Amino acid sequence: MSRKRVAVLISGRGSNMTALIAAAKRADYPAEIALVVSNRPDAGGLATAQHEGIATEVVDHKPFGKDRAAFENAIQAVLERHRIDIVCLAGFMRILTGDFVNRWYGRMLNIHPALLPAFKGLDTHRRALDAGVAEHGATVHLVVPDMDSGPILLQGSVIVRPGDTETDLAARVLAVEHRIYPEALKMLAEGRFAP
């Protein structure tokens, strides 16, 4: 079985990227983290990836201004050069255009810190606490042009405890993210999820 070549797109420390790298070290894992791409030259995750011997590239969005298509074309060129099969978004803080997303449909995953379809977008932990939900969690889904709306591969939940702060909840949800993202990538790489 040839392992799928995966690129992880990050904008910051890349804690989910680190979880994916750790999973891909297993001999029986069907994907390898072949590339880490950041839109921020100062992203902490770049050093982590380099330390693990993984190729890194920076495609800084700033020089492209409002030309999202040109920015994405630059990313696409990098992905093609590294012969990437699957893209994982891991704290990548840029909204992607429909054209780019559709080009990767069925081959691009995102992790979202909420139990979709609840709490799409930002500030999920605060919104979950404000809403008084009993359960909160994380979702791995295929990326579609409509944000946080693609087919769901996996979800994991935590109980919201009395007195939880955003920080408490975020830490427990992050542990769930680190568990389910590698599992969802494995499912996709093995062809066990057909969109």
Residues 112, 125, 136, 141: which is the catalytic one? 112
pLDDT tens, residue by residue, 24-56: 999 999 999 999 999 999 999 999 999 999 999
**In a domain? residue 134:** yes
State pTM to two decimals. Answer: 0.96
Tokens 């932990």 locate to 125
Strand 108-112, strand 135-142: pairing: antiparallel
Q: What is the pLDDT of residue 194?
A: 72
**In a domain? residue 121:** yes
**Number of structural domains the chain divides into:** 1
Secondary structure class of 84 (helix, strand, coil): coil
**In a domain? residue 181:** yes
Secondary structure class of 4 (helix, strand, coil): strand
Rg (the chain; Cα; Å)? 16
Share of residues in the chain with pLDDT > 70 (%): 99
**In a domain? residue 86:** yes
pLDDT tens, residue by residue, 160-192: 999 999 999 999 999 999 999 999 999 999 999
Residues 65-69, mean pLDDT to the nearest whole number: 95
Q: Say how far residue 77 (Cα) sits from the centre of its chain.
A: 20
61 is catalytic: no
CATH code at position 94: 3.40.50.170
Which residues constitute the domain of residue 128? 4-189
Strand 152-159, strand 135-142: pairing: antiparallel
Residues 81-89, mean pLDDT to the nearest whole number: 98
Name the region of 11 (left: φ>0; alpha: ψ -120 to 50; beta: rest): alpha
CA-to-CA dists, residue 3 to 32, 33, 191, 194, angstroms: 6, 10, 12, 18
Q: Which DSSP helix (H) or strand (E) runs through 36?
A: strand 31-38
Tokens 């902490």 locate to 44
**In a domain? residue 85:** yes
**In a domain? residue 195:** no
Check pLDDT > 70 for residue 84: yes
Check pLDDT > 90 for residue 1: no
Distance linking the first and last C-alpha atoms of the chain: 22
**In a domain? residue 89:** yes
pLDDT tens, residue by residue, 128-146: 999 999 999 999 999 999 9
Residues 97-111, mean pLDDT to the nearest whole number: 97
**In a domain? residue 87:** yes
